[in-house]
Amino acid sequence: MRRLAAPLGLLLALLLCLPGGVPASALPGVEASDYGAGAAQGTDSYWPLDGNGGTDARHYDVRVRYDFASGRLRGRTAITMTATADLRSFSLDLLLPTTGVKVDGRKARFRTSGKHELRVRPKTPIAAGQAFRVVVRYAGKPGEHRYAGERNWLASRSEVVAMNQPHMAPWWFPSNDHPSDKATFDVRVTVPKGKQVVGNGVRVSRKVKRGLATTHWRMSDPMATYLAFFAAGRYVIDQGTTAAGIPYYNAVSRGLEPKLRGYVRGQLARTGAITDWLQTQLGPYPFATTGGLVTGLDVGFALENQSRPTYGGWIYPGVIVHELAHQWFGDSVAVQRWRDIWLNEGFATYMEAAYAAAHGGPSVVAYLDKMYDRECTFPASDFWRLDIADPGADHIFDEAVYDRGAMTVAALGNRIGFDELATLLRKWVADHHDGNATVEQFEALAESVSGEELDGFFAAWLREGKVPPATLANGLQNVTCG
């Protein structure tokens, strides 16, 4: 993600309620205290309600219909899951009101808890290791809902795009909403036939019936739930194949005024060449297709939606590099915990500097020296004080996570050699392809690849909360402060 606006504040309002005011005690065996296996709490300390206990999502079949005039979304999502514990009940993350639930074809009891948790009790218990299918029907106005201080639904009467981080899924489909539980996706979106729908992966079909069009997009690689998206509106579409043979699909909103639309279309056209260049640095592109979407909505950030990043009208080459680099760092290799966000943002920002260096700009070393010289004169600033290996929920999008994170990668290149750094990055994305990883795993791999003890280096750059001394051990050469 690249932001123009400041990070959103955080607020959790925990209320227990049921549709129609039915008390929780009216559903036997689904009490508010019924936690443990199948718990509503996940394992992430930043947002404890993200994700759920006892289940592993394997595939989402999301089918939604959106009405632009009313802002109402109606959905039916089928989730194929595996129980990781014996379950009498289980939870899913969803903000919209639920109208019905079935588990393996049989009606199940359900209730909502805290406006974010959908608690489901199947007819019969589910044994650990058992695969099962839950189908949830729901309807409501996503724009009316709020979670963790966020109102994430982006829509007008002519365009809608489901894009945000760290949360987006609960506004339009039920899920285990945490990056550690990745799954494959089929998404079908129904809107008036005059609109187009863009999503992740490969477009499978578009079927028109009685004035409505249903478009089917498929993501065959495991994907974190916040990276799943759809956009609907009127778009200029450009399709083709990159020089390296990767299909691309680009969409630019017709809601942008013509001159700006022409400019952003030209910028988005850089996607193919940038994707090909990133392959030379990081190894094979991890997905079946690439591309991007520029929305006409007023959005203050760009986001690395898997295979097809989304941008606002302020698109430029650096942000394209950033979001496409995320396809390796953040999408294919997703964080295990939100505290690991440096592995996404610092690495993607580093690739901006590496791309500039490879295309006539300052060298990566010059970039590092300039950034160090600029920031070291403010040793007590938040830029240095923040522990970017564990920044806290309020600070995962702070400047330090991006820029000091990128400086850390550049300094690591100075410390172990840039050839070794290139080997390290390629091995990192290959070893964790389609998976999840932690900061500690990266540090261990860096030591393994380089053959060097790097505890002091990573402590200085990530955790100590002060300006790293300008030493060779810290990957700083011929640079002084100020």
Class of CATH domain 334-474: mainly alpha
| DSSP at 286 | S
Distance spanning both ends of the chain, measured CA to CA = 31
Q: Which helix (H) or strand (E) holds 99?
A: strand 98-103
CATH number of 234-327: 1.10.390.10
Q: Which pair of structure tokens corresponds to residue 464?
A: 């100590």
**Are the C-beta atoms of 468 and 474 separated by less than 8 Å?**
yes
Q: What is the pLDDT of residue 447?
A: 98
Q: Which helix (H) or strand (E) holds 187?
A: strand 183-192
pLDDT tens string 378-422? 999 999 999 999 999 999 999 999 999 999 999 999 999 999 999
pLDDT tens string 220-239? 999 999 999 999 999 999 99
CA–CA distance, 135 with 106 (Å, rounded to integer): 10
Exposed e or buried b per residue across 279-312, where buried means at least 16 C-beta atoms within 10 angstroms of its C-beta: beebbebbbebbbbbbbbbebebbbbbbbbbbbb
Which stretches within 241-316 are classed as H helix? 258-268, 271-282
| CATH 3.30.9.10 assigned to 37-224 | no
In which residue ranges of the chain is CATH 2.60.40.1730 found?
Answer: 37-224
In which residue ranges of the chain is CATH 1.10.390.10 found?
Answer: 234-327, 334-474
CA–CA distance, 419 with 298 (Å, rounded to integer): 41
pLDDT tens string 111-168? 998 889 999 999 999 999 999 999 999 999 999 999 999 999 999 999 999 999 999 9
Q: In what order do the strands lie in the sheet with 183-192?
A: 106-107, 98-103, 131-140, 72-83, 55-67, 183-192, 212-223, 202-209
* pTM summary value: 0.92
For residue 279, give every residue at least 6 positions away whose Cβ sits within 8 Å of its Cβ, in sequence order, or none: 244, 285
pLDDT tens string 282-331? 999 999 999 999 999 999 999 999 999 999 999 999 999 999 999 999 99
Instruction: Indicate if the pLDDT at residue 70 is higher than 60.
Output: yes
Instruction: Indicate if the pLDDT at residue 346 is higher than 60.
Output: yes
Q: Which helix (H) or strand (E) holds 408?
A: helix 405-416
